[in-house]
Amino acid sequence: MKLSDLILSNYKLLSVFNRFDINLGFGEKTIFDICSQKQITPEFFILVCNIYSFEDYLPNNKNLLDINPKELINFLRKTHYYFLKESLSEIENDLDELCEHCEDNHLVILKKFFIDYRKEVINHFEYEENIVFPYIENINKLGFNTDYNIHIFEDNHSNIEDKLSDLKNIIIKYLPETCSSKKRSILLEKLFCFQDELIIHSRIEEKILIPLVSEIEKHIND
């Protein structure tokens, strides 16, 4: 399949391409062309595209075990980076724009809500990048010599989508009518997109990363 056809069939894959360092302007290149050029496992690339395109898509057990955990973690790290540097900073800019043009000083509090939320997201990602991912990358070396296991992560994996819904509701329903509708719509669209992406991202962590590592742990213990 041609890369261009992928994007034309689901434009949301644009953000996925970004995370695989695939730049636009690829002409007629196919999935396999680009995968060998960028050293991506084609099956993994296709898996990610499927997850982003179909709400309930999950790999079967055999395909799950074929995933290289390092490649998956690499993708998740890139996604975190994208969320923080792109999605959240764009949302912040739009929120500032909105606040600037509204007199209501309550908007300062809205900004505070956002900043607190971003802290939460950063903490969430830092835990994964500093504790969970290194554990997985070294799992073969560590073997029994660690108290950590993936179920600790599973139990502690917090939900960072809910507060976005709160923010959406406040902006849709409760900011006064005097606040620019246009600026609100721009911000809302970004919030919706970001939330969709977060949901997919958590699905990858919960339905793919955790089961995969859990299987690997079983083999180590055998």
Partner 1 sequence: MINKKYRVLIIEPSTIIYQGLKYVLEKSPNFSVIGYLRDIQFLPQRLPQLKADIIIVNPNLFGFHKRQNISNIFQDLGSFYLIGLSYAYSNEEVNSNFSAIIGILDDGPKIINTITNVVTSEKNIEKQEQSDLSDREKEILISIAKGMQNKEIADQHNISIHTVISHRKNISKKTGIKSVSGLTIYALLNNLINKDEFV
Q: Site residues (CB under 8 A) for partner 1?
A: 104-106, 109-110, 113, 116, 162-163, 165-170, 173-176
Nearer to partner 1, 141 or 218 (CB): 218
Nearer to partner 1, 35 or 164 (CB): 164
CA-CA distance, 128 to 136, in Å (whole number)? 10
Nearer to partner 1, 152 or 170 (CB): 170
Distances (CA, A) of 49 to 6, 19, 156, 185: 8, 12, 27, 28
Residue 169 has which token pair?
């509701």
**How many alpha carbons fall within 13 Å on the CB side of residue 15?**
21
Q: How far is the CB of 85 from partner 1 (least distance, A)?
A: 24
Q: Is the dihedral of CA 130, 131, 132, 135 positive or negative?
A: positive
Q: How far is the CB of 191 from partner 1 (least distance, A)?
A: 13
Q: How far is the CB of 166 from partner 1 (least distance, A)?
A: 3
Q: Which of 143, 198, 157, 187 lies closest to 15 in space, CA to CA?
A: 198
Residue 141 has which token pair?
């070396």
Nearer to partner 1, 168 or 184 (CB): 168
Q: What share of the chain is helix, strand, coil (3-state, %, to 5)?
A: 75, 0, 25
Nearer to partner 1, 6 or 167 (CB): 167
Q: How far is the CB of 124 from partner 1 (least distance, A)?
A: 15
Q: How far is the CB of 168 from partner 1 (least distance, A)?
A: 8
Amino acid at 107: L
